[in-house]
Amino acid sequence: MNKLKTNSGAKKRFKLTKSGKVKRPNACKRHLLSGKTTKRKRQLRKATIEPTPVSKRLKKMMPYAS
């Protein structure tokens, strides 16, 4: 059987935690930052965990990451 192809975009954007959850960086941190509060920008630095239905799809894109 052939090897499965990993989705290169997903490989670059998402990481799997030890427990198998999908971790991703927050959006809205690239431009138009002057209109956002310091608190909001600081909180956007942290990564977030994807919800379960979305993470199931993402895990199929990264078959060898788990």
pLDDT digits (tens, 9 = 90+) for 11-66: 999 999 999 999 999 999 999 999 999 999 999 999 999 999 999 999 999 988 86
Q: Set out the domains of the chain in order of their start, with CATH numbers.
A: 8-61 (4.10.410.60)
Q: Is the pTM of this model over 0.85?
A: no
Which tokens is 27 given? 């959006």
- Give pLDDT tens digits for 13-28: 999 999 999 999 999 9
Dihedral sign for Cα atoms in the order 36, 40, 44, 45: positive
